[in-house]
Amino acid sequence: MKSTHTKRAYKYRFYPTDAQAADLSRTFGCVRKVFNMALAARTEAWTLRRERITYNATSAILTAWKRTEELAYLNEVSSVPLQQTLRHLQAAFTNFFSKRAKYPRFKSRKKSKKSAEYTASAFRFRHGELTLAKMVEPLEIVWSRPLPDGAQPSSVTVSQDAAGRWFVSLLVEDLDVKHLGDAETAIGIDAGLDHLLTLSTGEKITNPRHERKDRARLMKAQRELSRKAKGNGANRAKACRRVARIHARISDRRRDHLHKITTRLVRDNQTIVIEDLSVRNLLKNGKLARAISDAAWSDFRNMLEYKAQWYGREVVAVDRWFPSSKLCSKCGMLRGTMPLHVRTWTCRGCGTGHDRDENAAKNILAAGLAVSVCGAGVRPQRSTPGGRSATKQEALRREL
């Protein structure tokens, strides 16, 4: 097995003391302040003078800010997270100019993620204890899984979610990640809502519908929140945390379920073929947006792709307009319109009976293998006797 030098982040929950929580909250505020001020400075320089300010320039400006009486409180926290947020801003502008992202936005005190990144010079990690700069005591971390043997974190990111939980993420070089031996199996996957996934082998993975199970509790908590007066009141803050805890419970269970599925698929198959779904467009369907969000197809694909890269597997995505449900996997005849309520159908050409989802998974597998072998594109077929080509709108609605 081939070993790879892979950077992996190990995330753990920790419980800070009152003093540590106050220090970290102050750091989050300073990080947000520096980011917003640097973004405003860069925007103003370009708008007024058509001048591009680089990271080095904003770093010099930060030094000047610290010397002013108004911003002297920036010296009370570690300088490393402040420098790191300037690097994050530089990366955001790089992505913007490369047309990979939109223009950077200001961080909101209430809505933005609370986090701070520390590089190796700003923390001490010895004998399983992590101590951050400006702190005396180490963090009380719950080591839910061990770090790789001999691993030394290159950076540490501390964060607090909307539910009030504290997390620390340690970025380490994991030498234990090895390419798995070549497998002879390939599998096609059709994503859906009645069943989360249907495999070309005929296996159907149930959709747990985590959000639906907690919907009553969530609605009750949201109603209580709506009754609280808007502002900075303690009662409204408590109601917000109750809603956030329910959302966190839903997302944690969903993520755990997807991790188990994707790990099994990657370990058991050399090639995994999926559809190139445009989830953002599918979410515009008002009736199904909640169910599609709960299915988390985008998270499923992301997990598959990075795990396949770790373990030497291949993920192939076929064209989103490929009519996999309407195409007979036996003879290749393309059927005409197929309403959503039709879950089984019989091919007019060869008389083969098909389960809609299983047939789609088989067609996705065949199309993906063609792409993998010869690099051919996967396009909707033209009309065939007894059928017509699928329109884009029909293809978009196919699995809803």
pLDDT at 113 over 80: yes
Residue 195 · residue 357 · CB < 8 Å = yes
User: Which tens digits make up the pLDDT trace of 82-108?
Assistant: 999 999 999 999 999 999 999 999 999
3-class secondary structure, 358: helix
User: Which tens digits make up the pLDDT trace of 294-309?
Assistant: 999 999 999 999 999 9
Sign of CA dihedral 148, 151, 154, 160: positive
Phi, psi torsion values for 50, nearest 5 degrees = 55, 40
Query: Could you tell me the pTM of the whole model?
Result: 0.82
User: Which tens digits make up the pLDDT trace of 7-20?
Assistant: 889 999 999 999 99
Residue 297 · residue 344 · CB < 8 Å = no
Give dist(CA 15, CA 35) in Å, integer.
27
* Side chain identity, residue 130: L
pLDDT confidence bin for 255, thresholds 50/70/90: very high
User: Which tens digits make up the pLDDT trace of 43-70?
Assistant: 999 999 888 899 999 999 999 999 999 9
Q: What is the pLDDT of residue 380?
A: 40
* Side chain identity, residue 257: H
Give the rounded percent of residues in the chain with a pLDDT score beyond 70.
91
Give domain 186-207+249-397's CATH architecture. 2-Layer Sandwich (3.30)
Bridge partners (DSSP) listed for residue 271: 186, 314
Give dist(CA 217, CA 197) in Å, integer.
27
Token pair belonging to 233: 């009141």
Domain boundaries, the chain: 6-174, 186-207+249-397
Catalytic residues: 190, 275, 357
Token pair belonging to 296: 């988390």
Hey, how many other C-beta atoms are within 10 angstroms of the C-beta on 249?
Answer: 16
